[in-house]
Amino acid sequence: MDDILPLAKAHKLPEPVLKPVGVPHVEDSAASEHEPAELEAAPLSPRLAAYQALPVTKSTITHNYTPALAVLDADDMDKEELEARIVTVIEDYKEKLQLRTDHHMGYPYNLDFDYGPLEGLQKYCINNLGDPFIESNYGVHSREFEIGVLQWFARLWEIDVDDFWGYITNCGTEGNLHGILVGREVLPDGILYASRETHYSIFKAARMYRMDSEKIATLESGEIDYDELRAQLTANCARPAIINVNIGTTVKGAVDDLDRVLQILKDTGYNEDRFYIHCDGALFGMMIPFVKRAPMVTFKKPIGSISVSGHKFVGSPVPCGVVMTRLKHIKGVSSDVEYLNSRDATIMGSRNGHAPIYMWYTFTRKGYEGLRKDVEKCLRNAHLLKSMLERAGVKTMLNELSSTVVFERPREEAFVRKWQLACEGDIAHVVVMPNITIRKLEHFVQELFESRTRVSVAEAMQLAEDARALDDDE
Ligand SMILES: Cc1ncc(COP(=O)(O)O)c(C=O)c1O
């Protein structure tokens, strides 16, 4: 692990990216500003175009461009032609989606799911607007599934069904916005504490709610720096504390030690009525209950809320998530809305009613045992990937409780885009999800090595070219 620490610690801006042979560099590509990114085809494989997003270089996004698919002009063609054109567009799009699904490694999404029996539900506008526990006048909803899923989580996180409140969110971000809002309502004068490597949605919440916040340094692993947290809590002891605890950070998959944070609160004189803890478990919150030796995230401990994403480890065709808090906390956040005939206690108004059905279906099909096996597979394959990379001299890091394999950022942007890697500064990661098989790892690692070789050869040749330019005899 030590090897990668200077990379991880520095978090510095990337060096100018080496221009790969045959791939226009974003900064010198005339195409990048005005022409569709599709022009930037990468020579990685004759069969496969790279994912076409343009890279972010330096600290600002200067050249991103999403090509438009113009709405077809129905007045310009007869009905038959229109139908045929629509079918072609959708078929082409499906093919693109499949290719991109097959070559995705960077984001924590489980792309392996089959919701075949649910396909017929698409024709219904299922909307759980308002509070999940109070039926609104809109009858096309899936609240019964939603409550069933919430009760499943209540069992997982050890809270009595009469003591919790929660809902199925649009994503992990919404869960974080809700958790921090509840914390702020419980402790209006509280200061928000979160580590530097916390997901940006937590600090966005602080900005939205105009809360004072403290960004705490991190350890090399990516965990919160416990000593600095202690020092900050001590310095601000006159005001309550709202703490975000990461159950898996975005980039390094680091898990903050909840028990240690609770001990620090105790040591620094914060009683339970003077702190609120939100656990951001976007990815790993769904995995940690199935990992032996992992610290328990449970409402038996004095935490206020937990949020997870549903489209990450669980896998779902639509983004979704779950947030859960204690029923006693929600009263301060909710108000009755006559128009809905429900209560407003959620961040969003209309809520995707399909999402709870996907979750209900997966949990029913897989059960705890199926999920445990998925977690085991992810952790095993993450270790395999780490070993494969290390064998070939790539610096890597893998936190003990995580399936996020961090490694040196590949220098060929086309490779980064083809495999849709998430990068930050000098590092990239692969989040090993259930859809990442050993075969896919082989394919990825093979191409990574080929990419590294291409870069090294190009650099060596550049040295020779520079030398020739200086040498009059050449
Ligand atoms: C730690 C963490 N929290 C929150 C989020 C936001 O989740 P979502 O993308 O579901 O909004 C992410 C996303 O990657 C994350 O890694």
Can you give the residue range of the structural domain that contains 414?
A: 2-108+369-443
Dihedral angle over CA of 343, 315, 123, 361, nearest 10? -80
Minimal-distance CA residue to ligand 1 atom 7: 172
Query: How remote is the CA of residue 223 from the centroid of ligand 1, in Å?
Result: 16
3-state secondary structure of 15: coil
Asked if residue 158 and residue 23 are part of one domain, the reply reads no
Ligand 1 atom closest to 198 (CA): 1
List per-residue pLDDT tens for the chain, 474 residues long: 333 333 333 333 233 232 232 322 333 333 333 333 333 334 444 344 444 455 555 456 656 677 889 999 988 899 999 999 999 999 999 999 999 999 999 999 999 999 999 999 999 999 999 999 998 899 999 999 999 999 999 999 999 999 999 999 999 999 999 999 999 999 999 999 999 999 999 999 999 999 999 999 999 999 999 999 999 999 999 999 999 999 999 999 999 999 999 999 999 999 999 999 999 999 999 999 999 888 899 999 999 999 999 999 999 999 999 999 999 999 878 877 777 677 889 999 999 999 999 999 999 999 999 999 999 999 999 999 999 999 989 999 999 889 999 999 999 999 999 999 999 889 999 999 999 999 999 999 999 999 999 999 999 999 999 999 988 777
SS3 (DSSP) at 111: coil
The answer on 321 and 251 residing in a single domain is yes
Catalytic residue positions, numbered: 402
Residue with the smallest CA separation from ligand 1 atom 12 is: 282
CA distance 19 to 207: 38
Shared domain for 147 and 286, answered yes or no, is yes
- Single-letter residue type at 180: I
Whether 474 is in a domain gets the answer no
For residue 208, give every residue at least 6 positions away whose Cβ sits within 8 Å of its Cβ, in sequence order, or none.
177
| Number of independent structural domains in the chain | 2
323 and 416 within one domain = no
Classified as helix, coil or strand, 77 is coil
Sign, Cα dihedral of 224, 226, 228, 230: positive
Picking from 353, 377, 409, the residue at the C-terminal end of a domain is 353
pTM (2 d.p.): 0.86
pLDDT for the residue 249: 95
CATH code assigned at 307: 3.40.640.10
Rounded distance, CA 389 to CA 416, Å? 16
Q: What is the pLDDT of residue 51?
A: 46
Whether 468 is covered by a domain: the verdict is no
Q: What's the pLDDT score for residue 252?
A: 94
The separation between CA 242 and the C-alpha centre of its own chain, rounded to angstroms, equals: 22
Q: Which residues pair with 427 in a beta bridge?
A: 408, 424
Give me ligand 1 centre to Cα 30, in Å. 34
Q: How many CB atoms lie within 10 A of CB 367?
A: 11
Distance CA 305, CA 293 (A): 22
Distance 213 CA to ligand 1 centre (A): 19
Q: Give the β-pairing of 275-280 and 305-309.
A: parallel
**For the purposes of burial, counting CB atoms within 10 Å of the CB of 251, is it exposed (0-12), middle (13-18) or buried (19 or more)?**
buried
Give the start-end residues of each E strand in 268-344. 275-280, 305-309, 321-326, 335-337, 342-344
Which one, of 129, 12, 16, 58, lies nearest residue 411 by Cα? 16
Task: For ligand 1, pick from 196, 203, 250, 430 the residue to mutate: most ligand atoms within 8 Å of CB.
Answer: 250
Domain C-terminal end among 289, 323, 353 = 353
Please list the alpha-helical segments (H only) found in 106-210. Answer: 143-156, 172-186, 200-208
> Do both 157 and 304 map to the same domain?
yes
Task: Using the structure block, give the residue that is written with the tokens 């040196």.
Answer: 408
